Amino acid sequence: MRVRGGGTGFVGRTLTQLLRSRGHEVTHISREGGKDRISWGELSHSGLPLCDAVVNLAGENVLNPFRRWSDAFCREVINSRVETTRTLAKAIANAEEPPHAWVLVTGVGYYRPSPTAEYTEDSHGGDFDFFSRLVSAWEAAALIPGSPTRGVVVRSGVVLGKGGGAISQMLLPFRLGLGGPLGSGLQPFPWIHIQDLAGIVCHALETESVQGVLNGVSPSSPMTSNATFAQEFAAALGRPALLPVPAWAVRAVFGSERAVMLLEGQKVVPKHTLESGYQFIFPDLSAALRDVVA
């Protein structure tokens, strides 16, 4: 059995399908209990049910264009990540029979944006802006000193997939021929296909030798700029990508804090992920985007 937080979201649905296809039982943690799910209240009151592994994918969408960046939304972003992780870590620590594996999916925002630096899982980060500090606090909340449970953190890039994530927000303007790079377009664009992100999590659950940090980005991600992504996405749709979005417009929509995530980026290398034996389904951007828009 797998018990998971964030199981009904964009990535959670794909991971659930993959795990069940491999013969695993999946129990979701959600606001309300029900069939194949328990509530957060039940978890806090009754503790963690017997399970082999726990995965946390919970988190408010930081780039929700319908939510203004405010102190209240900022607290939601933090609590939906740090507090859910802390709750699960506490439940694991208090379990009579702890699970074998504990996997947390965070983000490459841990690393400092740079047009030139390349980051592996061994690189430092985590203390230069809101998002890096958020990831640091998020990952710190997952630590269970002295626990026999094997811990894995997957730092994900921009997730590309059907029916959600970044693509759902970009699809219409690009289909209308109104898409293009953001700002200068030179910023790195760390990306991963949703099937590979789910695949890495499943690989971490099933491979006992895997522990520590895995970068959840495609091997070709360090060579991908925002402009390259825009060109490839438009090509997959059979449309041009001629209209760059100026940086001021991005800041006007998302606010200066969140705009950093779109106007700057990191070159992230999945060094430990590859060394662990994971084989990417979509290492190439053009093939990944053709699959997404098919």
Instruction: Evaluate if residue 8 carries a pLDDT over 90.
Output: no
Q: How far apart are CA 198 and CA 195, in angstroms?
A: 5
Instruction: Evaluate if residue 44 carries a pLDDT over 90.
Output: no
Cβ–Cβ contacts within 10 Å for residue 149, how many?
A: 16
pLDDT, residue 225, reads: 96
Provide the 3-class DSSP secondary structure of residue 160: strand
Number of domains in the chain: 1
Residue type at 155? R
Instruction: Evaluate if residue 211 carries a pLDDT over 80.
Output: yes
Instruction: Evaluate if residue 125 carries a pLDDT over 80.
Output: yes
Residue 172 sits in a domain whose CATH number is 3.40.50.720
Which two three-digit tokens encode residue 126? 């985590």
pLDDT, residue 1, reads: 62
pLDDT in tens, 146-194: 999 999 999 999 999 988 888 888 888 888 888 899 999 999 999 999 9
Burial class (CB in 10 A: 0-12, 13-18, 19+), 273: buried
Q: What is the mean pLDDT of the chain?
A: 91
Q: Which domain holds residue 22?
A: 2-293
Burial class (CB in 10 A: 0-12, 13-18, 19+), 189: buried
Provide the terminal-to-terminal Cα distance of the chain, rounded to the nearest Å: 33
Residue the block writes with tokens 């190439």: 284
pTM for this model (two decimals): 0.94
